[in-house]
Amino acid sequence: MSKGGRMSKARERIFAAIRRNKKPLADAPVAGEGGARADTIPTHTIPVRTQLTAEALCAEFEHRLSAASASVEWVESASGIPAAVWRHLSDQQRRTQCFANGSAAELGWASVPELDIRSGAGDADSPVCITSAFRGIAETGSLVLLSAPGHSSASYFLPELLIVTLSRRDILATQEAVWADLRRRPEDMPRTVTLVTGPSRTGDIEQKIVLGAHGPRQVHVLLVN
Amino acid sequence: MELGGKLEVGRSRRVALYVTCLVDVMRPSVGFAAIKLLEDAGCEVVVPEHQTCCGQPAYNAGGEAEAKALAKQVVETFEPFDAVVAPSGSCAGMIRDHYPKLLAAEPEWRDRATGLASRTYELTSFLVDVMGMESVEADYQGAVCYHDSCAGLRELNIKQQPRKLLRSVRGVEVREMDDAEVCCGFGGLFCVKYADISNQMVSRKMDNIEASGADTLLAGDLGCLLNMAGKLTRQGSRVKVRHVAEVLAGMTDLPAIGEGEV
Amino acid sequence: MQPSCSSFKQQAAQALRDPKLQGAFGKLGDGLQARRAAAVGQLPEFEALREDARRIKRRVMSDLDTWLEQFEQKVLGQGGHIHWASTADDAREAILAICQRVGAKTVTKGKSMVTEELGLNDYLVDQGITPVETDLGEYILQLRREAPSHIVMPAVHLAQDDIERTFVESHPQLPPDRDLSTAESLVAEARQELREHFFKADVGITGANFMIAETGSTVIVTNEGNGDLTQTLARVHVVVTTIERVIPTLEDLSTFLRLLPRSATGQEATAYVTLSSGPKREGDMHGPEEFHVVVLDNGRSELLGSENQDILNCIRCGACMNHCPVYGAVGGHAYGWVYPGPLGAALTPALIGVEKSAALPNASTFCGQCVAVCPVKIPLTDIMRRWRVREHGKKMTSPLARAGLSAWAWLASRPALYRKFTGLAAWGMALCGGRRRRLSRMPLAGGWTRYRDFPAPEGETFHAQLAQLKKRAAKTGAEGLRHEQGGAHE
């Protein structure tokens, strides 16, 4: 039998077994007619700690970011980002070659000639990548990064230092708020949606936490007022 | 924990004592201590004659038919009483948590089992939660630590009740050992079938008991107590082991569990 | 992976004699257990979330085919491929066919327990394809040719110096006198070694913590970032997962994401959660040209609707094993197959048959700690007990044990006879205990007395003493028990 034939046999077998064995739930919603549509989404428990005023939202986001071992800095406007990047890199005595992604690539980098800014995702040895986040989640201090033309998902994982810019108004309380925003966009679901919460880490050696396993050792967030 | 529906806190009532197999054979004084405590709390205590085993050993060994037969016998024997009290979280948990599941396929028996389950209690939780007992009249000289037996803790939420009463015993200092909530490795037949693993578990327990500095180890289940007492005496430890009811009833003249000449 | 669950006892005994292993698993209390307790303590809604999660799972299972079909439609609509695999063989062949079609030489892998279930690495090697594990723990184990001992922390059984030695032996191209004395230096070396593999790989294989029906996305929940590099940099991304991992919506995902990291590692959130939907799109700088999802059944559909269905709710957080005193004593390898601990004891019999794995559900004291910490409230001990019922019903237990059990039940249903028997037993044991009041040896209880004494009974049973008290009370005309009983003890 051909591979394809065998696979459709497997599909038939699996679905037949499921239909034979499954037990209906008295209180289950009718799932048959595309039950998982945006307008029939059931809501679940949302932690009370996410009910925050606009001011408190930013403070909570910052607090959770540092709890996740990320660093954070405010800049007044997008035009201040290149200078802030330069400051951060020189504080860290880092090389100045950076890859910039997405809207971060279109900032006024010429104002800081010391920085060697390249557009792209970087390679195996990229020291720094700068990218922009779609949203921030105050509940956990997570950055929501989407893939899109010009936005490489690999660039979130390749560099030693990941710098992420995020506008104050894009800080939301919960993941649920982010999903609602994603559904409101005219585009399809992005190919990748990545929630980044602090630097890469591992506990695989004797349960000790070590930062920078395969991804960035440091995550620095520039919040734009 | 639910307080058994229609029972009213503090009211006198007819209580059936479920002695349990292990107390019956191994440590009868725990049964008499339970009677004293219940009577002190204002209960009329009855010991139904037809009681034997709750069926838990069969139940946990996969012998469902045998377990069901014994469960029905217990339901019949204890149904007439306002409440059933056992000096064991494990046996009380069997009746409260497991009988309704075990007999689920037979609606009549399931309902009777559910009824009995709602009136069945472990001793210390009955005294504190149902009878509203705040303290006991007893003396005991020593630093005690209390091991939270698994079924009592996780099936019946027994945690503060024995400690509360122990603190009222004159001369007692209650100490907490590390990992008081971790299983001692008894587990019924487990301790014989998986003796090596059980030994490892009880050995870790020993370290925590000794480190607590307590001179007396207490718990609410005789299975765990026999296991830990046997390990302590084998190791030549001087820690004494008793059922919590003995101390609460002030009935500690009898040698501790496994305590004898060296 | 060939199961060796029936040798559980011997494997456990070996683990108990290994001081290094004892040290490694002894650290679970201060490590993962303490971290989970702290994280759960900070979220007052944790219990409500557990109940929500259980509800979501029940809803999924009641209509599993519908959610899987929705997921399939979405994946296909986004240009992905889906491969249904009824058995492990089906899955291995589907993966091999993809690898061969694209001429794959090397395959990078993110951590996936399902591929362990398939024995995928050995299979690919036999077919001339080189798999490279990229999760740090899995990488270490691949170098050592060992199986994972934990579903989240695969190398938790190893001590740091074991890993140091493995790296010195396995990376001969590096200076032999380099400093590998810290966990940081070991992590850095693995990072360096694995970097180029991500770029060179033809196929990247990952598991999936969830499939989302609403969006056709597969989701990985990770900390290291290797899973993302695996699925982003290879030409072809193959997700290997199982039928029960589908959930309806993004909101459902959020509920699980509040439970999973707290339960697994005590984190509020893992470093990474990535939702992947289909292959690379126009204008994308990176991403796989092909996106495949292999969905395996391998016996799970037969659990559906059965009394043990709830084990399908498992989200593989590992909390049950982190908190299990038996797992903590013997570690993961003793369990003899892919899934150790309470999860394995409840799931393995369903996947490989209770005949080959009855030792696992028996190796539990039913202490219930696993149930107490399970984020989706799986009644693990009830499921283990039902496997014991199955084992007993199939007469797989020893004839002696079965005879003993029915004899005890027979006796216990005859109270008068029972009294005589227990009276004799109490008297006999007290006699043997003598003035030491304990027994060092006892027939049929060698397992007990090998390690501990058996405390002797008081002598007469409770019921015998009570009967005497009553008799005396009747003679003296005293009323009630209370007076007599007080007298008996003064």
Q: What is the CATH number of the domain that holds C101?
A: 3.40.50.10420
Mutate to test the interface with A, among C70, C275, C298 (most CBs of A within 10 A): C275
Is the predicted pLDDT of residue B84 greater than 70, yes or no? yes
Contact A108, A82 (CB under 8 A): yes
Q: Is B220 helix (H, G, I), strand (E, B) or coil?
A: coil
> How does pLDDT run across C81-125, given as a tens digit for each residue?
999 999 999 999 999 999 999 999 999 999 999 999 999 999 999
Which pair of structure tokens corresponds to residue C437?
């009041």
Mutate to test the interface with B, among C330, C365, C466 (most CBs of B within 10 A): C365
Check residue A8 and give its pLDDT: 83
Contact criterion met (CB < 8 Å) for A192 and C277? yes
Same domain, C288 and C150: yes
Burial of C403 (0-12, 13-18, 19+ CB in 10 A): exposed
CB-nearest partner of A215 from C24, C163, C225: C225
Check residue B6 and give its pLDDT: 45
Distance from CA of C475 to the nearest CA of B (A): 20
Q: Please report the domains of chain B, with CATH numbers, ordered by start residue.
A: 14-129 (no CATH), 135-248 (3.40.50.11810)
- Flag whether C touches B (3+ CB pairs, 8 A cutoff): yes
Contact A225, A62 (CB under 8 A): no
Is the predicted pLDDT of residue C20 greater than 60, yes or no? yes
Can you tell me the distance from the alpha carbon of C221 to that of A178, in angstroms, rounded to the nearest whole number?
Answer: 18
Same domain, C153 and C289: yes
Indicate the pLDDT class of residue B102, thresholds 50, 70 and 90.
very high
Is the predicted pLDDT of residue C484 greater than 50, yes or no? no
DSSP per-residue codes, A172-184: ES-HHHHHHHHHH
Residue C364 lies in a domain: no
Q: Does C418 contact B at CB distance below 8 Å?
A: yes
Query: In which residue are the tokens 């929501």 written?
Result: A144
Find all residues with CB under 8 Å of A186, minimum gap 6, and list them.
none
Residue C32 lies in a domain: no
What is the tally of structural domains in chain C?
2
Percent of chain A with pLDDT over 70: 89
> How does pLDDT run across C294-303, given as a tens digit for each residue?
999 999 999 9
Check residue A29 and give its pLDDT: 46
> So what's the ipTM on this one?
0.94
**Which of B165, B148, B153 shows the shortest CA–CA distance to B224?**
B148
**Which of B226, B71, B96 shows the shortest CA–CA distance to B154?**
B96
Q: Does B116 contact C at CB distance below 8 Å?
A: no
The mean per-residue pLDDT over the stretch C453-461 comes to 95
Alpha-helical (H) ranges within chain B are 21-26, 28-40, 56-60, 64-78, 89-93, 99-102, 107-117, 123-125, 150, 156, 160-167, 190-193, 195-212, 222-234, 244-248
Angle between helices C399-412 and C415-433 (to 10 degrees): 120
Q: Does B63 contact C at CB distance below 8 Å?
A: yes
Indicate the pLDDT class of residue C478, thresholds 50, 70 and 90.
low
Alpha-helical (H) ranges within chain A are 3-21, 54-67, 81-91, 175-184
Can you tell me the distance from the alpha carbon of B253 to that of A38, in angstroms, rounded to the nearest whole number?
Answer: 71
Same domain, C425 and C284: no
Q: Is B85 helix (H, G, I), strand (E, B) or coil?
A: strand
Can you tell me the distance from the alpha carbon of B190 to that of B54, in angstroms, rounded to the nearest whole number?
Answer: 18
> How does pLDDT run across A84-126, given as a tens digit for each residue?
999 999 887 776 788 888 788 888 888 888 888 887 767 767 7
Contact B63, C392 (CB under 8 A): yes
* Strands laid side by side in the A218-224 sheet: A71-75, A218-224, A161-167, A128-132, A97-100, A116-119
Based on its alpha-carbon atoms, the radius of gyration of chain B, rounded to whole angstroms, reads: 18
Check residue C130 and give its pLDDT: 97
**Which of B226, B257, B224 shows the shortest CA–CA distance to B240?**
B257
Contact C273, A195 (CB under 8 A): yes
Q: Does C445 contact B at CB distance below 8 Å?
A: yes
Can you tell me the distance from the alpha carbon of A110 to that of C350, in angstroms, rounded to the nearest whole number?
Answer: 64
Of C302, C324, C341, which residue is a domain's last? C302
Q: Does B104 contact C at CB distance below 8 Å?
A: no
Indicate the pLDDT class of residue C204, thresholds 50, 70 and 90.
very high
- Residue A193 has phi, psi (to 5 degrees) of -120, 120
Return the number of other C-beta atoms located less than 10 Å from residue C248's C-beta. Answer: 26
> How does pLDDT run across A152-161, given as a tens digit for each residue?
888 899 999 9
- Span of A84-98, B119-133, B179-193, B226-240 with lowest mean pLDDT: A84-98
Mutate to test the interface with C, among B25, B49, B262 (most CBs of C within 10 A): B25
Is the predicted pLDDT of residue A34 greater than 50, yes or no? no
Q: Is B27 helix (H, G, I), strand (E, B) or coil?
A: coil
Which pair of structure tokens corresponds to residue B142?
């020593």
Q: Does C416 contact B at CB distance below 8 Å?
A: no
- Give C445's contacts in chain B (Cβ within 8 Å): 192
Indicate the pLDDT class of residue A4, thresholds 50, 70 and 90.
low
The mean per-residue pLDDT over the stretch C424-443 comes to 93
DSSP per-residue codes, C257-310: HHHHHHHHHS-SS-SEEEEE-SS--TT-SS--SEEEEEEE-TTGGGTTTSTTGG
Of C302, C321, C347, which residue is a domain's last? C302
Which pair of structure tokens corresponds to residue B170?
């004159």
Ranges A29-38, B107-116, C283-292, most confident: B107-116
DSSP per-residue codes, C45-63: THHHHHHHHHHHHHHHHHT
* DSSP bridge pairs for A164: A131, A221
- Give B45's contacts in chain C (Cβ within 8 Å): 481
Indicate the pLDDT class of residue B8, thresholds 50, 70 and 90.
low
Which pair of structure tokens corresponds to residue C102?
């694209």
Is the predicted pLDDT of residue C482 greater than 60, yes or no? no
Residue C389 lies in a domain: no
Check residue B7 and give its pLDDT: 52
Check residue C486 and give its pLDDT: 33
Would you put residue A34 in left (φ > 0), alpha (ψ -120 to 50) or beta?
A: left
Query: Bigger pLDDT: A97 or C6?
Result: C6
Residue C271 lies in a domain: yes
The mean per-residue pLDDT over the stretch B10-33 comes to 91
- Give B193's contacts in chain C (Cβ within 8 Å): 362, 447
- Give B46's contacts in chain C (Cβ within 8 Å): none
Range of the domain at C423: 412-488
Residue window 268-327, chain C: list those with CB within 8 Å of chain B.
325-326
- Give C86's contacts in chain A (Cβ within 8 Å): 9-10, 13-14
Q: Does B183 contact C at CB distance below 8 Å?
A: yes
> How does pLDDT run across C412-432, given as a tens digit for each residue?
999 999 999 999 999 999 999
Same domain, C104 and C222: yes
Same domain, C298 and C416: no
Indicate the pLDDT class of residue A211, thresholds 50, 70 and 90.
very high
Contact criterion met (CB < 8 Å) for A213 and C194? no
Residue C131 lies in a domain: yes
Contact criterion met (CB < 8 Å) for B50 and C415? yes
Residue window 251-270, chain C: list those with CB within 8 Å of chain B.
none
Summary mean pLDDT of chain B: 94
Indicate the pLDDT class of residue C442, thresholds 50, 70 and 90.
confident
Can you tell me the distance from the alpha carbon of C53 to that of A42, in angstroms, rounded to the nearest whole number?
Answer: 12
Q: How many helices (H) and strands (E) does chain C have?
A: 25, 12
Angle at C328 between CA C310 and CA C110, to 5 degrees: 65
Q: What is the per-residue burial (b if ≥16 Cβ within 10 Å, else e) of C157-189?
A: bbebebbbebbeeebeeeeeeeebeebeebbbb
Residue C20 lies in a domain: no
Residue C373 lies in a domain: no
CB-nearest partner of C155 from A46, A182, A204: A204
Contact B38, B17 (CB under 8 A): yes
Mutate to test the interface with C, among A11, A144, A164, A202 (most CBs of C within 10 A): A202
CB-nearest partner of A22 from C32, C62, C196: C62
Summary mean pLDDT of chain C: 94
- Span of A22-26, A33-37, B78-82, C484-488 with lowest mean pLDDT: C484-488
- Span of A210-224, B2-16, C222-236 with lowest mean pLDDT: B2-16
Burial of C302 (0-12, 13-18, 19+ CB in 10 A): middle
DSSP per-residue codes, C308-371: TGGGGG-----HHHHT-HHHHHHTTGGG-SSS-HHHHHHHHHHHH-HHHHTHHHHS-----HHH
List subunits contacting chain B, requiring 3 or more Cβ pairs under 8 Å: C
C132: amino acid identity, one letter: V
Which pair of structure tokens corresponds to residue B67?
């377990």
Is the predicted pLDDT of residue B79 greater than 80, yes or no? yes
Is the predicted pLDDT of residue C25 greater than 90, yes or no? yes
Angle at A207 between CA A206 and CA A209, to 5 degrees: 115
Of C285, C302, C319, which residue is a domain's last? C302
Indicate the pLDDT class of residue B15, thresholds 50, 70 and 90.
very high
Check residue A125 and give its pLDDT: 73
Same domain, C78 and C204: yes
Residue C30 lies in a domain: no
Distance from CA of C55 to the nearest CA of B (A): 20
List subunits contacting chain A, requiring 3 or more Cβ pairs under 8 Å: C
- Give A23's contacts in chain C (Cβ within 8 Å): 61-62, 304-305, 309
Q: Please report the domains of chain A, with CATH numbers, ordered by start residue.
A: 52-224 (3.40.50.10420)
Can you tell me the distance from the alpha carbon of C151 to that of C319, in angstroms, rounded to the nearest whole number?
Answer: 10
- CB contacts < 8 A (B, C): 225
Check residue A30 and give its pLDDT: 47
Percent of chain B with pLDDT over 90: 94
Query: Bigger pLDDT: A25 or A66?
Result: A66
Find all residues with CB under 8 Å of C17, minimum gap 6, and list them.
none
Can you tell me the distance from the alpha carbon of B222 to that of B229, in angstroms, rounded to the nearest whole number?
Answer: 10
Distance from CA of C167 to the nearest CA of A (A): 13
* Strands laid side by side in the C130-133 sheet: C81-85, C290-296, C236-242, C203-206, C106-109, C130-133
Indicate the pLDDT class of residue A6, thresholds 50, 70 and 90.
confident
Is the predicted pLDDT of residue B3 greater than 50, yes or no? no
Check residue C30 and give its pLDDT: 82
